[in-house]
A = this chain, B = another copy of it.
């Protein structure tokens, strides 16, 4: 009888415990769902127009169903155990498969987390010219898993976010134009710089993309062939290439007009004795 009672008590306790497990599982699923919701609801609000909303929704539903799969499996195993079946062997089998898949999923998780930080910290927006993971280009798309760039040559680069650590944004502030004008050693450098300054002043008036300069800085280099005058300017982002070409063309013409000579190779010939 005592045995029966004890057995009854045990069975009752087991039932209560199973109920508790089911209840806790249910609550955890709810909490997880709301967490997922919050993260993906917050995303678009701050991420601006380039957060791919439909993809976000897809991922949220994927995460939620994954959560439910995991929770149900764990609850089922716990119930089995409460019924006295040692689930370690089962778990062992699951663990091996899980590890194999988990290993592969590692980089996926890293991609998503890094992607989240890139969007959260607004390191770059669609349309910026950036350098990341050794590739440069205009940002076409910032996704949670990958970033897409298009470089000057027209190639499309797809970079998993997990590969991105330090990023360089060339559209965030301003760009620098730098032109090197070679002239002969026997020219008057101050006169050449005055001519260049005049050209620079003209260009400054015409070109609204210039923020500072252009200005000849002085002699940047001296070698056997001649000296090099460096001309510097600060422009709006990515406008430096056009300005550099304009500077080269107009400075060349001004120097030609004024007869400033270009570098040459000086040679001293000796006759064989």
Contact = CB atoms under 8 A, between A and B. Distances in A.
Interface in A1-18: 2-3, 6, 13, 17
A168 B174 contact: no
Given A182-B223, A224-B265, A263-B266, A3 B3 contact: no
Contact of A17 (B84, B109, B114): B84
A212 to B, nearest CB: 10
A222 interface: yes
B153 A175 contact: yes
A102 to B, nearest CB: 7
A166 B135 contact: yes
A154 B253 CA distance: 29
A199 interface: no
A60 to B, nearest CB: 16
Nearest to A101: B109
A194 interface: no
A185 to B, nearest CB: 5
B165 A160 contact: yes
Interface string A69-90: 0110110111011111111011
A41 interface: no
Given A13-B84, A78-B86, 14 more contacts: A24-B90, A74-B92, A82-B86, A87-B89, A103-B110, A104-B113, A121-B158, A123-B158, A155-B173, A156-B170, A157-B168, A159-B165, A230-B245, A264-B266
Interface of A: 2-3, 6, 13, 17, 20-21, 24, 70-71, 73-74, 76-78, 80-87, 89-93, 96-106, 108-110, 112-114, 117, 121, 123, 131, 133, 135, 145-146, 150, 152-160, 163, 165-170, 172-176, 180-182, 185-186, 189-190, 217-220, 222-227, 230, 234, 237, 242, 245-246, 248-249, 252-253, 256, 262-272
